[in-house]
Structure 1
Amino acid sequence: MFQLGKTIVSEELFEREFVCNLSACKGECCVDGTAGAPLEEEETKIMQDIYATVKPFLRAEGIAAIEAQGTSVIGEDGGFETPLVNGAECAYVIFDEDTALCGIEQAYNEGLIKWKKPVSCHLYPIRVREFSDFSAVNYHKWSICDDACSLGKELEVPVYKFVKEALVRKFGAAWYTELEQVAEEYKR
């Protein structure tokens, strides 16, 4: 671990390799698990604001879950998260044949909204945990991403490079530039 500004960052961001392999995993991260995607408090307002625009992209089951539970919910850990359909997949999940995609991201890709998706989804496989004085930035290993780890290794893409856009979104360009410098020193 090392400190970078007000973050404590795991070396695994440099050591591990990762490139999403959607054709292999079929978006399983959006349908597996027992909780919705973590949301930052300010993202809950965004979710409310964009819902009407995103709604036409969603499945009937997702719409029903959102309209029954809200555009975001409080999870078991007390944090905000996306609602689930019957305790399973994220309510914002849509399917392209057998591959799970994000309805929010589809609206973004079509230029209808300016917000891509929750930052926790954008950052994955990185998880950020907020503490009062700092943010912990860690790699999250999940067996459903084994194909992404294999592809990342084959393409030689470390985690921090794979999620560059999301890290810049979360922490800023200057922070990321400093992260790259630390990564170069770490490699030596």
Structure 2
Amino acid sequence: MFQIGDTLISEDILSEEFVCNLSKCKGICCVEGDAGAPLNDDELSVLDDIYEDIKPYLRPEGIAAIEKSGKYVRDSDGEWVTPLVDGNECAYVIFDEKGITKCGIEKAWEDGVVDYKKPISCHLYPIRLKEYKKFTAVNYHAWDICSDACALGKELKVNVVHFLKEALIRKFGQEWYDELLKIDQEYKERKKKRRWF
């Protein structure tokens, strides 16, 4: 673990290599799991505000799930998450012509309809955040359905730090990310030295 400001960061985000491989996994992370995407408290009002704008992008099944359960629901741990369609995919999911899952919110963002890209938990994956009173834990979440992403990351030699550049800057800011890059560089240099001994 290492610290930047009030964040405690797992070394796994330096050591693990990861690049989403949608052609292989088809975006299964938006379908699998026992709950929807985690949401921050401040994202709830955003979903309330943008729902009518993103609604035309959603599937009828997603709209039905949202209008039945709400734009966000509490999971078994009492945390806010996106609702699911019949206990399966996120209600905000859409599918492209190849059967790959996409985010209806993100599609609306790409079209310039809304200025909110998607839940930060989705943008940051495979990083998961855990908020504590005095700090935020930044952890790597290993999930077997992402084995193709790990294989592609290894092939391209891209670690989690670099893969998630945009999302990490969105969440923590450029200054924080620049500090993370320095730590990443030091980590790589230490690793290289160890190989020589």
Please indicate the TM-score interval, normalised by the length of the shorter structure: over 0.9
Encode CA deviations 1:9-57: one digit per residue, 9 max, x unaligned: 0111110101000000001000011100000000011011110011001
Q: Which residue of 2 aligns with 1:13?
A: 13
Q: Which residue of 1 aligns with 2:46?
A: 46
Q: Which residue of 2 aligns with 1:100?
A: 101
Q: Which residue of 2 aligns with 1:153?
A: 154
Q: Which residue of 2 aligns with 1:173?
A: 174
Q: Which residue of 1 aligns with 2:33?
A: 33
Q: CA deviation at 1:65?
A: 0.5
Q: CA deviation at 1:176?
A: 0.4
Q: Which residue of 2 aligns with 1:144?
A: 145
Q: Does the residue aligned with 1:37 lie in a helix, a strand or coil?
A: coil
Larger radius of gyration: 2
Q: Distance in 1 between matches of 2:95 and 2:183?
A: 39
Q: Which residue of 2 aligns with 1:79?
A: 79
Q: Distance in 1 between matches of 2:7 and 2:77?
A: 22
Query: What is the TM-score when the length of structure 1 is the normalising length?
Result: 0.98
Q: Distance in 1 between matches of 2:124 and 2:28?
A: 16
Q: What is the root-mean-square deviation in Å for CA atoms of aligned residues?
A: 0.7
Which amino acid letter does the alignment assign opposite residue 88 of structure 2? A
Q: Which residue of 1 aligns with 2:134?
A: 133
User: Is 2:23 the partner of 1:23?
Assistant: yes
Which amino acid letter does the alignment assign opposite residue 160 of structure 1? V
Q: Distance in 1 between matches of 2:142 and 2:39?
A: 20
Q: CA deviation at 1:186?
A: 1.4
Q: Distance in 2 between matches of 1:33 and 1:14?
A: 25
Which runs of 5 or more residues in structure 2 are unaligned? 190-197
Q: CA deviation at 1:117?
A: 0.1
Q: Distance in 2 between matches of 1:53 and 1:94?
A: 15
Q: CA deviation at 1:87?
A: 1.1
Residue identity over aligned pairs, in percent, reads: 60
User: Is 2:188 the partner of 1:187?
Assistant: yes
Q: CA deviation at 1:76?
A: 1.0
Q: Distance in 2 between matches of 1:50 and 1:120?
A: 18
Q: Does the residue aligned with 1:38 lie in a helix, a strand or coil?
A: coil
Q: Does the residue aligned with 1:181 lie in a helix, a strand or coil?
A: helix
Q: CA deviation at 1:79?
A: 1.0
Aligned positions, number = 188
